[in-house]
Amino acid sequence: MARLAVSLVLAMFVVAAGAGAGSPTAAPIDLGGRVVQLVGAHGSLWVLTCDRRCGGEGRRSVGRVVRIDPRSGRPARSASLPRPGALAVGPRDVYATDFWRNALRRLDPRTLRVTATRRLSLPFRCPPAGDREFFPAHVGAAASGAWVTTARCAVARVGRLLRRVVVVRLPPKAPGDLAVARDAVWIAGGRRVYRIDPRTDRVVARIRIGRVLAYVSARWVALGGGRALAVGSRVRGVASTDEQVLARIDPRTNRVLGVTPLPRGRLAVAFGRGSLWVGRSASGRLQRIDPRTGQVVAEIAAPVGTALAVVGGRVWTAYANGTVRAIG
């Protein structure tokens, strides 16, 4: 099934020099089901859930897209969505993947109804299966449309009306999470971070973090503070470790400026209001990191959930019981 994104909730706080504390500021919203993804974009909090038949491969799963007004803390709109995969919100449209149908769906941001669907396929055969199935994993949005990654050798650029598709070939199993900007698309691609020029649809940089036998396997990427920020785990030899790090990349030169150790274990991260927020689910501690230097500028006690978004100056977190609430 497409990524059932697990991102940690991190928040924006006004903190006195060096320390601070976070606490819930609103009653939890019980959405039920399982939160797949939180997205803070264009003044709203967008929640993708899986409600029924979510076990196993999820071929017949059913979920919802929910738009929450961060000012009132109440759902403003909700719509059913079969086979929820990954979600992205652009300036004019919302996009959602359908893993088992090899499709990208465009939703109206006001009604959350599906207005168009486009089936994706590879223009070449991908080893080892040798077929052309796309199996979309992650999606990122821009004004001109969406970018969709797959672990099967490629990333696709899909026009806003879902009519034009351009597939850019990448190494097998490379593409992961992605960040879309006007002048570049950044992809966390395991052994490397890839940069694509959206004007030419060409890979213009393949950035390795670390050495050949001691590299960082990047799985998350974002843009902020004048940097491309990649988070991943160290790989020593052929074995992955639980050592997590942040790599800061200069987008002008595509060079790695530095690597910062992060808490061990499975992490989720979020960028918002000029800071990178990092924590481990159920740990109750958040780190606020300056993206320019990689330094931890504050460590904050706060209830950490399983998914995160920053919108409207507030941090929203989702918990395993299907509730969402703001942290202030």
Burial of 66 (0-12, 13-18, 19+ CB in 10 A): buried
pLDDT band at 211 (very low <50, low <70, confident <90, very high): confident
List 189's β-bridge partners, or say none.
192
Tell me what pLDDT residue 26 has: 65
pLDDT reported for residue 281 = 81
Query: Tokens 């490397």 sit at which residue?
Result: 192
For residue range 39-98, what is the model confidence (pLDDT) as tens digits?
Answer: 999 999 999 999 999 988 899 999 999 999 999 889 999 999 999 999 999 999 999 999
Share of the chain above pLDDT 90, in %: 64
Q: Would you list the domain boundaries of the chain?
A: 19-327
- Residue 244: per-residue pLDDT: 94
Distance (Å, whole) CA 297 – CA 289: 6
* Per-residue confidence band for 195, with pLDDT thresholds at 50, 70 and 90: very high
Dist CA 85 CA 177 (whole Å):
13
Q: What is the CA radius of gyration of the chain?
A: 19
| pLDDT value at residue 174 | 64
| Second-level CATH architecture of 19-327 | 7 Propeller (2.130)
Mean of pLDDT values over 269-287: 85
3-state secondary structure of 117: strand
238-264 residue pLDDT tens: 888 999 999 999 999 999 999 999 999
Contacts of 195 (CB under 8 A, 6+ apart): 184, 185, 186, 187, 203, 204, 205, 206, 207, 228, 251, 254
Residue 275 CA to residue 171 CA, distance in Å, equals 32
Mean pLDDT score, 7-20: 31
Each residue's pLDDT tens digit, 153-181: 899 999 999 999 999 998 876 677 999 99
CA distances 32 to 36, 96, 322, Å, are 12, 20, 5
Chain centre distance of CA 324 = 18
- The answer to whether the CB of 33 falls within 8 A of the CB of 49 is yes
Whether the model clears a pTM of 0.85, i.e. scores above it, the answer is: yes
